[in-house]
A and B are shown apart, each in its own frame.
Chain A
């Protein structure tokens, strides 16, 4: 079948509904959000139309700087932890029997699809005094008394790694499956131990994939909004939490919108970086 350019008007038929839906319910809302970010807050209702930069000017506070700094720091930590854990895991998974792979993929997808609410609840239970992991340690005689492990930074980080790890594995999976298995076999015939061949062949050959994955997991972690709320203290709140907070509880939509626009810009910049890393990978 030759792919022809659409000739008649009716050839465009299939495009009408999808294009309409995406424009009306994604492009227009997005544009609305950008517009609102320049509006003025109206305590009586949502907001009133205007064109002010006040909402953006509010970024220039120490508080906002701290939140932004912490959000980025947290996302970087999550990305690094996930990639360090996931690269060897996914590599081993991609070399495992098909049945093993399918089983793990189902498990990973199930966890990936879990609501942040549920993950937050599960870890808050796990970290709690009454039902937590410390009870196990008490039972084993390692600890004297059960304690609560949250709210804390460690709790937020652990739960976010938990949330992002399946995502990381699934992002890495295609590249690792496609990695020619004879490359590591060749390394072994040339005298490299399995460990050495992993670090001298697999990791360098996938350098660009790993960089791209780091960025994608970073973006994913940046979007986490409930876990810092459920498991952390207010100083562990991220930009996403702040946006929700402003939009819902403070009813300050213009400021929330301005922060969202800012977050989009950060994300888009990173996506561009990912694409660039990918291009470079193809060229090499």
Chain B
């Protein structure tokens, strides 16, 4: 009875969460250029459209490039910072931890506006590189949190053991710390990548008038002309996110990763 109640509750939440995706998936296979549901006819043509239509293709390319680069920069900021905070006793340096977490905690429009005023004032407004740096700053929180968690799970006596065997700091980092931290490095990158792929407002405020990322393209399509390609792109994005998080779960300990992620300790 109670188990049944639980199943029903899970089912309802699951339905609520999947309903929009089901409808969008239905819309994406319409035969004609209509947003009908249930779909009229069946065609995978709108998925092909993402790659054949030059506007959608370049938006996809821009989004993936932006996500890949900004996640890498975020990692470059987070890794030395998390390592330093773990390795050294320097309470004042925690301010940088706080700075790394702030952009993601504040309402996104604030970070976006801050960056917009900054790029406008310095005269770089509209250049593609500004979006990469902006996203890197906006999403640095994710690798920072996963890496801090990763470092805290390393037994410090391992470092001491390596030192007794003659390894210096740099060698220890390369041969002991890095291999142990790798899963956290990868999941931090994955989180930043997926979120950057989906991010709208920061991208819009920094390069919105010069380039189109996929979310910007979808939003513009929402305003200026619906097409089932929007639906097929949406489904593609859900699939990418599910695949990446599925891989993180497959090769890492997702419950553990999330167990500390939101508690911020």
Instruction: Encode B212-233 as 1/0 by CB contact (under 8 A) with A.
Output: 0001101100100000001100
Interface size on B, residues (CB 8 A): 98
Q: A107 vs B246: C-alpha distance in the bound complex, in angstroms?
A: 9
Q: A15 vs B100: C-alpha distance in the bound complex, in angstroms?
A: 13
Nearest CB in chain B: distance from A110 CB, A: 4
Nearest CB in chain B: distance from A140 CB, A: 12
Task: Check: A186 CB closer than 8 A to any chain B CB.
Answer: no
Q: What A residues does B259 contact at CB under 8 A?
A: 173-174, 177-178
Q: A248 vs B112: C-alpha distance in the bound complex, in angstroms?
A: 11
Task: Check: B179 CB closer than 8 A to any chain A CB.
Answer: no
* Residue in B closest to A39 when the chains form the complex, CB atoms: B117
A-side residues, CB < 8 A to B, are: 1, 3-6, 11-12, 14-15, 17-19, 21-23, 25-30, 32-33, 36, 46, 85, 88-89, 92, 98, 101-102, 105-111, 113-126, 128, 130-133, 135, 139, 162, 165-166, 170-171, 173-175, 177-178, 194, 219, 222-223, 225-226, 230, 240, 243-244, 247-248, 253, 256-257, 260, 263-264, 267, 271
Q: A46 vs B237: C-alpha distance in the bound complex, in angstroms?
A: 35
* Residue in B closest to A241 when the chains form the complex, CB atoms: B109
Task: Check: B254 CB closer than 8 A to any chain A CB.
Answer: yes
Nearest CB in chain B: distance from A161 CB, A: 8
Task: Check: B93 CB closer than 8 A to any chain A CB.
Answer: yes
Q: What A residues does B41 contact at CB under 8 A?
A: none
Q: What B residues does A1 contact at CB under 8 A?
A: 87, 156-157, 159-160, 163
Task: Check: B84 CB closer than 8 A to any chain A CB.
Answer: yes
Assess the B99–A22 pair: CB atoms within 8 A: yes
One of B13, B16, B88, B199 near A115 (C-beta < 8 A): B199
Q: A114 vs B27: C-alpha distance in the bound complex, in angstroms?
A: 18
Q: What B residues does A19 contact at CB under 8 A?
A: 81, 96
Task: Check: B241 CB closer than 8 A to any chain A CB.
Answer: yes
Q: A109 vs B192: C-alpha distance in the bound complex, in angstroms?
A: 12
Assess the B218–A14 pair: CB atoms within 8 A: no
Task: Check: B262 CB closer than 8 A to any chain A CB.
Answer: yes
Q: A33 vs B114: C-alpha distance in the bound complex, in angstroms?
A: 5
Q: What A residues does B84 contact at CB under 8 A?
A: 12, 14-15, 18
Q: A19 vs B76: C-alpha distance in the bound complex, in angstroms?
A: 11
CB within 8 Å of A: which B12-68 residues: 13-14, 16-17, 19-21, 23-24, 26-27, 34-38
One of B90, B107, B112, B197 near A219 (C-beta < 8 A): B107
14 more CB-based (< 8 A) A-B contacts, given A132-B23, A263-B109, A267-B105 = A14-B80, A15-B81, A92-B9, A98-B255, A110-B242, A131-B35, A174-B259, A174-B260, A174-B261, A174-B262, A175-B263, A240-B109, A248-B204, A263-B110
Assess the A114–B107 pair: CB atoms within 8 A: no
Q: A177 vs B260: C-alpha distance in the bound complex, in angstroms?
A: 11
Q: A14 vs B93: C-alpha distance in the bound complex, in angstroms?
A: 12
Q: What A residues does B163 contact at CB under 8 A?
A: 1
Assess the B10–A89 pair: CB atoms within 8 A: yes
Q: What A residues does B110 contact at CB under 8 A?
A: 33, 260, 263-264, 267
B-side residues, CB < 8 A to A, are: 2, 6, 9-10, 13-14, 16-17, 19-21, 23-24, 26-27, 34-38, 73, 76-78, 80-81, 83-84, 86-90, 93, 96, 99-100, 102-103, 105-118, 120-121, 133-134, 136-137, 140, 156-157, 159-160, 163, 194-195, 197-201, 204-205, 208, 215-216, 218-219, 222, 230-231, 234, 237-238, 241-242, 245-246, 249, 254-255, 258-263
Nearest CB in chain A: distance from B189 CB, A: 14
Nearest CB in chain A: distance from B195 CB, A: 5
Q: What B residues does A14 contact at CB under 8 A?
A: 80-81, 83-84, 87
Whether A111 touches B17, Cβ cut-off 8 Å, given contacts A117-B218, A177-B255, is: yes
Nearest CB in chain B: distance from A252 CB, A: 12
Whether A162 touches B254, Cβ cut-off 8 Å, given contacts A14-B83, A122-B21, is: no
One of B16, B134, B254 near A105 (C-beta < 8 A): B254
Assess the A174–B258 pair: CB atoms within 8 A: yes
* Residue in A closest to B34 when the chains form the complex, CB atoms: A130
* 18 intermolecular pairs with C-beta atoms under 8 Å apart: A5-B88, A21-B73, A26-B99, A32-B117, A32-B118, A33-B110, A89-B10, A105-B249, A121-B230, A125-B37, A130-B34, A173-B262, A223-B106, A225-B108, A240-B107, A247-B205, A248-B208, A260-B109
Assess the B133–A107 pair: CB atoms within 8 A: no
Nearest CB in chain B: distance from A206 CB, A: 13
The 9 closest A-B pairs by CB, nearest first: A223-B107, A131-B37, A29-B118, A122-B20, A14-B80, A18-B81, A115-B198, A29-B114, A1-B156
Q: A271 vs B24: C-alpha distance in the bound complex, in angstroms?
A: 36
Assess the A89–B9 pair: CB atoms within 8 A: yes
Assess the B113–A243 pair: CB atoms within 8 A: yes
